[in-house]
Amino acid sequence: MAKNTLSFVCQNCGAAYNRWQGKCEACGEWNTLAEEDTAGGVPVSIRSKRKGRTFALESLAGKSPDAPRLSSGMTELDRVTGGGFVRGSVLLVGGDPGIGKSTLLTQATSMLARAGHRIVYISGEEAVAQVRLRAERLGLSDAPVQLAAETSVEDIVSTLSEGAVPRLIVIDSIQTMWTDTVESAPGTVTQVRASAQALIRFAKKTGAAIILVGHVTKDGQIAGPRVVEHMVDAVLSFEGEGSQQFRILRAVKNRFGPTDEIGVFEMTGLGLREVTNPSELFLSERDLGTPGTAVFAGIEGTRPVLVELQALVAPTSLGTPRRAVVGWDPSRLSMVLAVLEAHCGVKLSGHDVYLNVAGGLRINEPAADLAAAAALVSSLVNAQLPTDAVYFGEISLSGVVRPVAQTPARLKEAAKLGFQRAVLPESARGETGGDAGLSLNAVNSLTTLVAEIAARGSRRGESNAPAEKNATPARFRRGEG
């Protein structure tokens, strides 16, 4: 009989140590090491000394049939998954508590069950009666979804193996599952890894699609060992703010479709409502005529999205000015501020800077640099930007505005929503496609845009207008801005 080996495993990253210590050297977290039995992490059938079997090897050449997909009936969910659920695939869905993960999956499973598919929803956190209450609130209590409240992986696999193979199985959540092949407590790194491995093996063997719901840590990362994210076929992140009614489903990893694709939902009293035109929704409550606001034409996956950037630059008496940003990379904001001060003469060392992406959307692409810079300068000089203009372009450290990808798609979306002008990089003028119908203002450097916005502000009462279009305003050079 194999001797049990005890080790201390970090519950945040999965690193193992021979003795306990307060800080994990791998991830830097404190008090995350727990004692676990690592010998039990390998099933007895695998540890047994059996003779290996031979299997056939195939070449790279040859045709493979397209994986059949199961459409969920929700357009936004199918967009993120790449067209539907692939047979035998395993998806990991993570999100903050109360964001709406169970609501989304309840709606998706109900639609599939009504279409005649066998759908199984297994909850390890709620009783069957609690799941029924949610379905009744959403008006989905008549959907023939098969429910169960169970946490034993062996019992779940044995039950699902009887009868017809389910088309879709929801496990809510993977942190509550446990398997008797390991002796650790449910929720530990070893249990999560072993339970996920058993469920993935069942999915690949039977062809059933499985959705695993995962908890997230305080910094937004999916809890448990990182190896689980490598084991599954797709990782979906459900994002949103509690004060906002918008919810964003983002594909972080997808073996069967594009990554960084998003689906937009609106939380209502009857559940999640799909938003087919997120640009119109994000711009529905624009602050027209207010300095410090600029519309950014961005790309999320394959979808163009227009969103408003709001900036506030206010004088401060503090020795270290504040830099606060919501929905954008703080490091990117620091870079834009440094370029404005170094190459455009905009002195912001005595001002607090606040930047917000309206609507709760988080922007990841660098094409938002130009829109953020325009909003910051507009707030500084109290100049209103054109309400019918969109901005996009990447700013380099030398102050040059660099081109970005998918310019025609951005312009087409702006024209569809009624915008008349676009401020874009000079080198992207030849990629516009010629059919957008917008008036293009191509800029080569950030200094040009700053001068234009400052001149607009001087017409509202400032007397220090720049002498020429590309000149930096004198009050910026003197530090009076």
Which residues contribute to the annotated binding site for ATP?
Answer: 95-102
d(CA 34, CA 10): 6
d(CA 201, CA 222): 21
SS3 state at 238: strand
What number of residues does the chain have? Answer: 481
Q: Which residues of 27-59 are buried (b: 16+ CB within 10 A; e: fewer)?
A: eebeebbbebebebbeeeeeeeeeeeeeeeeee
Binding site per annotation, positions: 95-102
d(CA 28, CA 218): 14
- The single-letter code of the amino acid at 5 is T
Strands (E), 215-302: 234-239, 246-254, 262-268, 271-274, 293-300
The stretches of 227-294 forming alpha helices (DSSP H) are 227-231, 278-282
**Whose CA is closest to 182, among 25, 348, 5, 60?**
5
d(CA 226, CA 235): 11
d(CA 46, CA 310): 58
Q: Is residue 399 a contact partner of residue 447, using CB atoms and an 8 Å limit?
A: yes
Q: Is residue 122 a contact partner of residue 156, using CB atoms and an 8 Å limit?
A: yes
